[in-house]
Amino acid sequence: MYLDAIVMWGASQNSYGRWFVVYLDTDEGLALRQRAARAIAKYGEGGEIVGSAAVQVDQAMYLGELQDARRAGADAIMLLLNATDSIVYTGQQQDLGVDIPVLMLPDEISQTRDYIAASRFLSPDHNPRFRLATWETTFKDDGAEAFNLRYEARWSEPVDPTAWAAYHAVKILFEAVAATGTLDGMALVEYLESPGAVFDVLKGPGVSFRPWDHQLRQPIHVVGVDQEAPWQRTVLSTRIGIAAFVAELPPPAPGMDQVERLDLLGDGAAESSCRF
């Protein structure tokens, strides 16, 4: 879902058509590289991969890979690394002055405000301007604003995606137990897979689970980083103000069924290699 959203957003930026993909030289990294190619073919609007680089975990230097991206004439770098390696990569991009926009694969660490601030500090000119996240604390629609304000008031923290996900994971489990009247695991799975199991996670119409891979169908948020906003770790307003909600992917499509729309992201039943 993240890979499809990266390409969908990149294609919407008009100039993102020539992709350079940086991935880890592992089985998982290669699988991500292959799935990225499928995402570009599906949503890249004629875009192509003009080069790629397999790198090591905890690699110390990326100057060769950065120079390769520049020589390839890439207009976007898709960074499929972990949070630590990604911040090192963009920091060295700053040092070398490779002025190519980066869209990175998010994880639970890189979606946090602290990570965004660290990335902006280490790479003032080349940290990613746009990031993808499961949740953005400045999102205001569909009851989200009240949820965010309540959380911020209680904890003096922005609602990072990890907080949103933990809250709604417990909420979904509670609602499933209430609906089935049991704690039996198989009964709960059967309910969660059923078409009638729809949950309000404050992201528009209710979301549901795909029966073939148990993945939650949900919109992905595009987050824009404010390059000039002040940052003070202990001041809530600056922690919130460093970034803001920009868009939702897939974009709302009038007349399209919610399940059909959300299944634009991720693998369909025929494509998925997951077996439960």
Q: Is residue 265 part of a domain?
A: no
Per-residue pLDDT of 154-166, as tens digits, reads 999 999 999 999 9
Q: Is residue 203 part of a domain?
A: no
Written as one letter, the residue type at 77 is: I
Q: pLDDT-derived band of residue 276, with 50, 70 and 90 as boundaries?
A: low
> Whole domain around residue 34: which residue ranges?
2-132
d(CA 220, CA 140): 15
d(CA 153, CA 155): 6
d(CA 143, CA 202): 6
Q: Is residue 251 part of a domain?
A: no
Least confident range of 113-117, 121-125, 170-174, 243-247:
121-125
Q: State mean pLDDT over 150-178.
A: 96
Q: Is residue 195 part of a domain?
A: no
The residues near 275 (Cβ < 8 Å, ≥ 6 apart) are none
Task: For residue 59, give the 3-state DSSP assignment.
Answer: coil
* Two structure tokens written together for 265: 């992201």
Q: Is residue 183 part of a domain?
A: no
**For residue 270, pLDDT beyond 90:** no
Q: pLDDT-derived band of residue 142, with 50, 70 and 90 as boundaries?
A: confident
Q: State mean pLDDT over 225-253.
A: 94
98 backbone dihedrals φ, ψ, rounded to 5°? -85, 105
Q: 92: domain CATH number?
A: 3.40.50.2300
Q: Global pTM?
A: 0.93
Q: Is residue 211 part of a domain?
A: no
| pLDDT value of position 16 | 85
d(CA 126, CA 34): 26
Per-residue pLDDT of 183-232, as tens digits, reads 999 999 999 999 999 999 999 888 999 999 999 999 999 999 999 999 99
Instruction: Tell which phi-psi region holds residue 100, choosing left (phi > 0), alpha (psi between -120 and 50) or beta.
Output: beta
| pLDDT value of position 253 | 83
Q: Is residue 200 part of a domain?
A: no
Domains of the chain: total:
1
* Closest to 101 measured CA to CA, from 117, 123, 82, 133: 123
**For residue 69, pLDDT beyond 80:** yes
Q: Is residue 254 part of a domain?
A: no
Per-residue pLDDT of 8-36, as tens digits, reads 999 998 778 999 999 999 999 999 999 99
Q: State mean pLDDT over 240-255.
A: 93
Q: State mean pLDDT over 105-118.
A: 95
| pLDDT value of position 65 | 96
Distance of CA 266 to the CA centre of its chain: 12
**For residue 100, pLDDT beyond 70:** yes
